[in-house]
Structure 1
Amino acid sequence: MIKTYFFLLVAVAFETFGSACLQASQQFTKLWPTVGVAVGFIGGLYFFTLVLKVLPLGITYALWSGIGMVLIAGVGWLLFNQRLDAPALIGIGLILAGIMVINLFSRSHFH
């Protein structure tokens, strides 16, 4: 099971990289960030499918998208100077709380 969560984190890392490259590509007008988009999203989807061998789709997608959203919000802040206001930070906190509830209390995250 630890390997499954490791693959999930790798999928999220690829997806976060792809999303950051999407911003940097400036609508696909810069070559290397555009290549990064493809690498990031293809790699993310590949590892996402490995996780689906163990975890159900709904739980996997909730974790993948929630963790990815939190990470890309941080990347946007660090790399692109995109600031978040209090309601955005509260919303991100609620998403993190939801991820914790799923992992700590739900019995539905196993096949």
Structure 2
Amino acid sequence: MPYVLLAFAIAFEVTATLAMRASEGMSRLGPSVLVVAGYLISFVFMAKALTSLNVGPVYAIWSALGTIGAFAGGVVLFDEQVRPLTIAGAVIIVLGVIVMNLGGGVSRG
């Protein structure tokens, strides 16, 4: 169950980040409301997940998958460019999360 909560946290964080891009500097009401609500809900889900998972690896997973999700969403929704160096950075992020999980796992205790 904590991994489901973490997945929801990531999904809401990515949604909020993409809404921030769509808000045009927080000047459009709908996307701006989605930004605030999305981050708030994301933090609530992550806080719930942290009741049974270690904070370091969970934050690494949350931020890494959020970064990759925002990157992919930017490409799909806003026609942002994909460059080889950006893809290399995404791979490095994923490798970093794997290393953190090998070093300490995500279960508390």
Q: Could you state the TM-score of these two structures normalised by the residue count of structure 1? A: 0.90
Aligned to 2:78: 80
Find out whether 1:29 has 2:27 as its counterpart: yes
> Which residue identity is paired with 2:26?
F
- SS of the residue aligned with 2:51? coil
| Runs of 4+ in structure 1 over 6 Å off | none
Q: Could you state the TM-score of these two structures normalised by the residue count of structure 2? A: 0.92
Find out whether 1:106 has 2:92 as its counterpart: no
Paired with 1:61 and 1:100, the residues of 2 have a C-alpha distance of 13
- Which structure is higher in RCO with an 8 Å CA cutoff and minimum separation 6? 2
Q: How many residues align?
A: 108
Aligned to 1:9: 7
**Structure 1 residues without counterparts, runs of 5 or longer:** none
Aligned pairs for 1:54-65 (under 5 A) are 54-65=52-63
User: Structure 1 residue 12: deviation in Å?
Assistant: 0.3
Q: CA RMSD in A?
A: 1.2
**Structure 2 residues without counterparts, runs of 5 or longer:** none
